[in-house]
Amino acid sequence: MSRIGPPLLVELRQVGKVYHLGESRITALKTVNLSIHRGEFVAVWGPSGSGKSTLCNLIGLLDVCSSGTVRFEGQDVAALSDDQRSELRNRGIGFVFQSFNLIPVLSALENVMLPLQISGVSTAQARRAARKRLAEVGLDDHAAHRPAKLSGGQQQRVAIARALVTDPALVIADEPTANLDSENALRITELMRRLNSNNGTTFVFSTHDQRLLERVERQIQMRDGEIIDDRSPEQPAMRLDRSVGL
């Protein structure tokens, strides 16, 4: 079936993931099929151990699948070397972690500059881009602060600025509001939603947070390593087009 719409960004076909712990095998993902298009705002939700973090890790090229195929921008990531995957993550994917994962010895500005400096961008250029992103998340006056001097909400905004500084096609957020109070969780949710609308950045995040789910156009529900529901409340008809094999 042909469809006209945003281009495909990530595609998972028959993807499975098995972990080996000693002699025991743990199946984290069973045969999963999924397509994510540019500009989508996608939540992956489900109980603990349902496989949502594993799914996010595979989409974010942090891990490789045990079976099946993961394609990012049409490229089979299994065919890439570790260095090539690192380069792809650096330029194409931003990460927001539950515990913020800022580098404690770097200031907010230096943390945001980091992905650009990894890719070899000059310090002056990286500083300009990082300042712009910090201003976008409302923290331009906290640029010199080290993470320890920032609140949880501020740290997560710095992490979002860091995730966006390379203008990635995709941002993966692992329970971004889990460690935040209600007010900060709401601000972070609104911020991500605004960046998605304004910049067209694709967001995929795992969450338990019902408030966040209410603001998401596409919800993927997981249980026991499988996608059991993939729906778009406002546009249910599109869901079937986007989801492969569901």
Stretch of 60-68, 148-156, 185-193, 232-240 lying at the interface with another protein (CB under 8 A): 60-68
Between residue 213 and residue 242, which ones bind another protein under the rule CB under 8 A?
none
- Of 3-11, 90-98, 132-140, 209-217: span binding another protein (CB under 8 A): 90-98
> Six-digit token pair at 76?
């089979």
Whole-number Cα distances in Å, 55 to 61, 82, 172, 216: 10, 19, 11, 18
Q: What residues form DSSP beta bridges with 37?
A: 8
Which of residues 112 and 218 has its CB atom nearest to another protein in the complex? Answer: 112
Instruction: Kindly state the helix (H) or strand (E) to which residue 52 belongs, with its residue range.
Output: helix 52-59
106 part of the interface to another protein, by CB under 8 A: yes
The reply on whether position 60 binds another protein by CB under 8 A is: yes
93 burial level (CB within 10 Å; 0-12, 13-18, 19+)? buried
Q: Which residue has the tokens 């949502």?
A: 52
| Closest to another protein by CB, 146 or 193 | 146
Closest separation in Å from C-beta 1 to another protein? 35
What's the token pair of residue 158?
Answer: 């710095």
Residue 83 as a binder of another protein (CB under 8 A): the answer is: yes
Q: How far is the CB of 186 from another protein (least distance, A)?
A: 25
State the nearest-atom distance from the C-beta of 232 to another protein, in Å: 28
Q: Does 31 bind another protein (CB under 8 A)?
A: no
Residues 25, 18: Cα–Cα separation, whole Å: 6
Q: For residue 241, count other CB atoms closer than 10 A to its CB.
A: 14
| Binding flag, residue 86, another protein (CB under 8 A) | yes
Smallest separation (angstroms) from another protein to the CB of 60 = 7
Q: Closer CB to another protein, residue 17 or residue 37?
A: 17
Interface with another protein, residue 187, by CB under 8 A: no
Query: Measured on CA atoms in the order 37, 40, 46, 48, is the torsion positive or negative?
Result: positive
C-alpha R_g of the chain: 18
Based on the shown chain and the rule CB under 8 A, indicate whether residue 125 belongs to the binding site for another protein.
no
180-to-45, 152, 187, 189 alpha-carbon distances in Å: 18, 6, 10, 11
Q: Is 23 one of the binding residues for another protein (CB under 8 A)?
A: no
| Contact window for another protein (CB under 8 A) among 72-80, 112-120, 129-137, 234-242 | 112-120
Cα separation, 98 vs 206, whole angstroms: 10
Min dist CB 118 to another protein, Å, is: 5
The pair of three-digit structure tokens given for residue 104, joined into one six-digit string: 């404690």
What residues make contact with another protein under the rule CB under 8 A?
A: 57, 60, 62-63, 82-83, 86-87, 89-91, 95, 97, 99, 101, 103-106, 114-115, 117-119, 123, 162
